[in-house]
Structures are given as structure tokens and as C-alpha cells.
Structure 1
Amino acid sequence: MENSEKQERLNTLFLKMIAFDEGDPKRIQHFVKVHSFAKLIGELEKLDARTLYTLEAAAYLHDIGIRIAEEKFGRNDGKLQEQEGPEPAGKLMRECGFEEEVISRVQYLIAHHHTYQGIDGQDYQILVEADFLVNLYEDGASEKAVRTAGEKIFRTAAGTDILKKMFRISD
């Protein structure tokens, strides 16, 4: 598949996620920022094109289960996001023409993006790091929380460097 076709699918997915979260600019801004950090870290870590493509799709879709969890259960904790997100993510991806192999991996990443043990792959690690970068900022995390995340969560050189610079954390 050509790069232009991949980019077209990603752009279509991006627009579908904006429509999915219509009326909720905070949620839209969140996935846009997670995508931006994930793409940057993925490129700096020299992911192959297919893994980066998969990561980008997962970054757009990672929190798709939030609204569904809120509607079903009145809350949206991480485990419910993981539980409720894969099915609607697969549906949107199929509408955009993504390959089943990519859809399957994205669904896996969504189903585990709040699970920090057993991370199996650079796409998973980078998605978690990108989400942490955005959540730490959006939640107004303390310096201690940022340092703890850096020690316990961050593994890539690029993600660690961004975390340190963003929050002015020194060794």
C-alpha cells in the first residue's frame, strides 16, 4: 500500500473520531495531542512504516471506549475504556478500509492501553508514553508524579527526553 493511501485512511479515521466525539472538544484535543506525541516518538525511535501506521491509528482511537463506558456504567475508568473500546474502533477502521491485521493490533492496543505490565511491542510502549505525556499535563501532575511515571513507565529514549524537557525534570 502506498504512503498516500495510508495517509488518506489515517485522515479519514481522524475525521471520523472528531465526529464520534462531536461536541466534546476536550476529548478531541486529547486524542490529537496523543497522536502527535505518538507519531513524533515513533519516528524518532525509527519504527518501521507499518508499525507507525498502526500506532497512529491506535493513538486516534485509544479512548473511543470512554463515552460508551459512561453511557453503560456511569463511569469511564481505564479498565472500562479497555473493555468498551475495541469493538467500535474496529467498526470505524473497517469503514475506513484498514486491513484486518492492523485492526486486530489496534484493538489489542486499545484493550491494554491502561495496562502497564507485559508491554509487548514498541507501538504499545509508545502509545502508553504518549498518553502519559498528555495526561500528566492535563491532570496537572505534581513533579513527584512526573518523576514516578518517568521511572516506572517510560522506556524509549525519545519519550523520556520529551518528558524531561516538557516538565523540566533533571536526573
Structure 2
Amino acid sequence: MKCPGQDTRYWKGSDISEAKCPKCGAAVEFFKDDTTRACGACGHKFLNPGMDFGCAAYCEHAAQCIGNLPPELLAQRENLLKDRVAIEMKRYFKQDFKRIGHATRVARYAEEIAKQEAPAGLAVILCSAYLHDIGIHEAERKHNSTAARYQEEEGPAIARAILEKTSARPELIDEVCDIVGHHHHPRENETINFKVLYDADLITNLEEAQKEKPGDPQRLKKIIANDLFTETGRQVAKRVLLKQ
């Protein structure tokens, strides 16, 4: 069965478009399923600016559907991975909106911190953010507890299954699972990816605690100064927790 989005029987006039060559400015006609085309005037080959590669980033049959994926898409693949992992996290937690909300907030702060501290690790950091507490239901079921050590014990296997489902590369899966397996307990020499996730999680935990029962600002200042790893994390914490 052919993907309806790529089946010409379902196409409309808008599925054929023109784009200006970024090198010479000549008009180049693109069909919807063209990943790249060469400019007839100067020969410059460029990516179809109107093509939606969202499904192709994850689908194992993408090459059969639209041919070889262009380098520009392959470079974005891991950054797009976070969206798939977020969906899988929500599916796993189902109606547990408290855990879904927590993971989403951690991911939001993690992304803000990572863009300044560790942009190269964004895929690992965001996958870790969405999955860091993924073992909490198993911890409750097996140990009748949500204690950090039980979450860390149960989380990696579930995180691995989710990431393998998304066809993430093995090295990314291993690093994310390692972070999930000790995200509350920093080691002596931690990676910047771990530090960003740790800061985002701590900020979120403190924010949630503040909403339930406002704490002493002086205590928060000490935590921000002493317990966070990154300078960007401290800046985010001051904004979120101290309204500075």
C-alpha cells in the first residue's frame, strides 16, 4: 500500500510548486515527492523547501516511499526524535497527567538550558527529560514506593524499549538509559548532558513544591547556588523560583 501523502491519485494542484534557486534565483519546479532537484539554470542542487519530512524522519520504509533521505534531514533526525519520545511517554503514562506534566516541564527547562550549555547533546538531554521518571509506575507496582532508587532501578528497561521502538541509534539509547538509571544521584564526574537534565529536574521539583507550599527564599537561594551544576540552570532557577 502506498502512503496516501505520496500517492499522486490524492494530489492537488498545490502539490506542485515553484521555489527560487538559492544560488542564482531561477525558478525551479518541485513535485510534492521530490526531496531535491537541480536548478536548470545553474545546476545547483537543493532541498525541496515545501516538503514535509516529519513522517520520513521515523518511518523505517521512508527510503522506499521517497527515496534516499537528504543529508539535511538526516542531520535533523535526532532533534526530531524528541517529539516521538514525548508521544510515547504520554502513551505510557496514559491518564497520569501529573507525571506527564512533570516530564513536559522538565523537558522545557532542559531544552532552554541545553541550548546554552550543551547544544550538541540536545537529543540525549530531551529524551532523558521525557523518560527520566518512566520507571515510577513499576516502582509503585513492585516496591509500593516512588522512592528515587526504585525509579532508577525500574526506569532504564522501559526507556530502552521506548527508544528502540523509535529506532534511535544504540549509542543514544545507552546514554539515555544510563542517565535515567541514576538521574537523582550524580556521580563524581558527570557528563554535561547529565548535568543539564539534573538541573532541569531539580528546578521543576522545586517549582512544584513551591506551588504546594511556598518555601523560604533564602533556602532557595542556597540550593540554586550550591546544588545546580550549570550557570544557565542557575539563571533559569532564579527566574522561575525567585522571579528575578
Match of 2:180 among 99, 103, 110: 110
Which residue number in structure 1 is paired with residue 56 of structure 2? none
Letter in 1 for 2:145: R
Give distance in 2, aligned partners of 1:43 and 1:67: 31
TM-score using structure 1 length: 0.91
Q: Alpha carbons of 1:138 and 1:119: their partners in 2 closer, same or farther (altered >3 Å)?
A: farther
Which residue number in structure 2 is paired with residue 19 of structure 1? 91
Which residue number in structure 1 is paired with residue 200 of structure 2? 130
Give distance in 2, aligned partners of 1:139 and 1:119: 28
Which residue number in structure 1 is paired with residue 100 of structure 2? 28
Q: Alpha carbons of 1:71 and 1:145: their partners in 2 closer, same or farther (altered >3 Å)?
A: farther
Q: Post-superposition shift, 1:146?
A: 1.9
Residue 205 of structure 2: SS of its match in structure 1? Answer: helix
Give the 5 Å matches for 1:86-97. Answer: 86-97=156-167
**Mean Cα deviation higher: 64-73 or 108-117:** 108-117
Letter in 1 for 2:223: A
Q: Alpha carbons of 1:16 and 1:169: their partners in 2 closer, same or farther (altered >3 Å)?
A: closer
Question: In 2, are the aligned partners of 1:63 and 1:110 still within 8 Å (CA)?
Answer: yes
Match of 2:122 among 52, 70, 80: 52
Q: Alpha carbons of 1:119 and 1:125: their partners in 2 closer, same or farther (altered >3 Å)?
A: farther
Give distance in 2, aligned partners of 1:30 and 1:119: 27
Residue 76 of structure 1: SS of its match in structure 2? Answer: coil
Work out the number of aligned pairs and report it.
168
Give distance in 2, aligned partners of 1:129 and 1:145: 17
**Mean Cα deviation higher: 158-167 or 116-125:** 116-125
Q: Post-superposition shift, 1:4?
A: 3.7
Give distance in 1, aligned partners of 2:232 and 2:199: 10
Question: In 1, are the aligned partners of 2:125 and 2:197 still within 8 Å (CA)?
Answer: yes
Give distance in 1, aligned partners of 2:196 and 2:219: 19
Match of 2:136 among 42, 61, 66: 66
Q: Work out the percentage of aligned pairs sharing the same amino acid.
A: 26
Greater helix content: 1
Which residue number in structure 1 is paired with residue 222 of structure 2? 148
Give distance in 2, aligned partners of 1:129 and 1:87: 23
Residue 85 of structure 1: SS of its match in structure 2? Answer: helix
**Mean Cα deviation higher: 2-11 or 131-140:** 2-11
Residue 186 of structure 2: SS of its match in structure 1? Answer: coil
Give distance in 1, aligned partners of 2:153 and 2:107: 21
Which residue number in structure 2 is paired with residue 78 of structure 1? 148
TM-score using structure 2 length: 0.65
Q: Alpha carbons of 1:85 and 1:119: their partners in 2 closer, same or farther (altered >3 Å)?
A: farther
Which structure ranks higher in relative contact order (CA pairs < 8 Å, sequence separation ≥ 6)? 1
Question: In 2, are the aligned partners of 1:147 and 1:169 still within 8 Å (CA)?
Answer: no
Q: RMSD of aligned C-alpha atoms?
A: 1.8
Which deviations, in whole Å up to 9, do the C-alpha atoms of 1:18-52 show, x marking residues without a partner?
Answer: 0101111111010000001001100022x243x11
Question: In 2, are the aligned partners of 1:114 and 1:128 still within 8 Å (CA)?
Answer: yes
Match of 1:121 among 184, 191, 195: 191
Greater strand content: 2
Give distance in 2, aligned partners of 1:145 and 1:75: 27
